[in-house]
Amino acid sequence: MSGRSVAVVGATGAVGREMLATLHRRSFPVGSLRLMASARSAGTSLDTPWGEVEVEDLAEADPAGIEVALFSAGGARSREHAPRFAAAGAVVVDNSSAWRMDPQVPLVVVGVNDAAARAHRGIIANPNCTTMVLLMAVAPLHRAAGLESMVVASYQSVSGSGQTGIETLSAEVAHFSQDAAALQYGGWADPGHGMYARPIGFNVLPLAGALAEGGYTDEEWKLVNETRKILDAPQVAVEPTCVRVPVMVGHGLAASCWFSRPLGAEEADRLIEEAPGVRVWRDRVPTPLDCAGHDEVLVGRLRETLGRPGGISLWVVGDNLRKGAALNAVQIAELVI
């Protein structure tokens, strides 16, 4: 395969850097590479596997000649610039929420709904990281038995908030560690200046994302709407709760799912194990520490439902910077070229 002209937009961010690493790790045929970001980062240089590349100002960059553009620059920049890249002939794979629910834009999880990518009109949306990790486990069951309803709670790492989330957790862990007894008996001092509504260090926040319609957060609505679009199952009932946890990398989800027919644990285990990009752990419990830095999504605690028999409960965890973002984006690019 001949080398391709590739642009990474948002190249200086956590996901942008992971996109570069993923392109190299998967031997993507990069013939020429351009890096773009906001004006603040323009003019700096990044050392890449293809040599040192100067970062361009996205607002002023000419997209002519670019064949594949991987966007991870936020929704506002994607809405403004992705159409002009597509108009210039690039296939844009966008990691923001800007295009996910546009009916003209495919929303693709590679390994789940690959065929949808072929219907693109220049832009393909990368789903939310929690939705992608979850559907790697649930989609094989849906294909076999037809998902009807799902109750799901996410346990989302701080890297889902970007580099600032990682820095916030590090600072707050250091702050609270100076007075560990206060965590046990009370009287702790607020670290202040955090990016979350409450401290995240040694804590759990049952509010991931911003409040939206009906008292649910935008992260919770993404689980509802994106699941329906990706599975092409608009009637699926999803009851979500999204939680931020003091973990650096790796989103976990606990889900109970019911289908158009009863599904047993043995069949569910086989269906998931046979699916690409996902692995069932039977002898130990998969955790964020196990998935960090790995492409595969891990599934454990696979069991039949109790209160409402006939369904499957499971735990799934995946690296939100890899399959939840950069890996899936590069996999989409591999599909379309």
Indicate which residue of 81, 120, 129, 142 is catalytic.
129
pTM equals 0.94
Q: In the prediction, which pLDDT does 336 show?
A: 92
Indicate which residue of 175, 251, 257, 291 is catalytic.
251
Q: In the prediction, which pLDDT does 22 show?
A: 96
Q: Which two tokens stand for residue 9?
A: 């937009």
Backbone angles phi, psi at 93, to 5 degrees: -105, 110
Superfamily the domain 131-157+204-320 falls into: Dihydrodipicolinate Reductase; domain 2 (3.30.360.10)
Q: In the prediction, which pLDDT does 1 show?
A: 54
Would you kindly state where each structural domain of the chain is located, as residue ranges?
4-127+326-336, 131-157+204-320
- β-bridge partners, 51: 48
Listed as ranges, residues in the chain with pLDDT below 50 are none
CATH 3.40.50.720 correct for 4-127+326-336:
yes
- How far is it, in rounded angstroms, from Cα 276 to Cα 112? 9
Nearest to 158 by CA among 205, 224, 193, 105: 205
- Is 129 assigned a catalytic role? yes
Please name the helix (run of DSSP H) or strand (run of DSSP E) that holds residue 228, with its range, or none. Answer: helix 218-231
Q: Which two tokens stand for residue 74?
A: 């936020």
Q: In the prediction, which pLDDT does 297 show?
A: 98
